[in-house]
Amino acid sequence: MRFVSSTAVGLSAVALVVACGGGGGDPDRGATALPQLTPAVGTSLSGTCTALSAFAYANTVIDAASEVVAGTLRVGGNDIAAHCLVTGKMHERVSTVDGQTYAIGFEMRLPLNWNGRYFYQGNGGTDGLLRTADGSAGSGGPRSNALHKGFAVISSDAGHSAA
């Protein structure tokens, strides 16, 4: 399933971004130039959202995958189109300090008609909770968002609970 393969690439990209903390630099100062990416190519889901629950990738567990019907989610007065909602966790581990189990929780929303692009939704501050992955950026009541524009959007709790 091409959509599932694209999802694997997206989750892999998110894992790399989280691990790296950024990148690039100024080529005039001897830093490596940013890579030139090929244009994004959109696709439509060929299968079901629930099939995404079978996704397998190292250190990643999908807890649930389901379809959200159009209009269930609204942002800035706009109905969001039908999409898949995938929740899970990455890098689950037991702390050697306090013996507690920790993992990076995530929520990913994948449009059924995907534009081929991903949006990592930063949660601000010290995270600690999963916000609705709709791709809202900034404040002041957004009138649109990345999910509405066809982006796959992921949000995470940065690996800890606010509690």
Q: Could you read off the pLDDT of 10-45 as tens digits, one per residue?
A: 444 444 333 444 444 555 666 788 888 888 899 998
pLDDT at 9: 43
For CA atoms 68, 69, 71, 72, give the dihedral sign: negative
Round to the nearest angstrom and report the end-to-end CA distance of the chain: 38
pLDDT score recorded for residue 28? 64
Residue listed under structure tokens 């990455």 = 90
- Comparing CA positions, the residue from 89, 99, 117, 114 lying closest to residue 18 is 89
pLDDT of residue 50: 93
Q: What pTM does this model have?
A: 0.72
Does position 110 have pLDDT exceeding 70, yes or no?
yes
Bridge partners of 106?
Answer: 88, 156
pLDDT band at 8 (very low <50, low <70, confident <90, very high): very low
Comparing CA positions, the residue from 122, 95, 107 lying closest to residue 152 is: 107
Buried-state track 53-92, b at ≥16 Cβ within 10 A, e below 16: eebeeeebebeebebbeeeebebeeeebbbbbbbbbbbee
Alpha helices in 21-155 (DSSP H): none
Q: Are 130 and 69 a contacting pair, CB within 8 Å? A: no
- DSSP 8-state secondary structure symbol assigned to residue 75: E
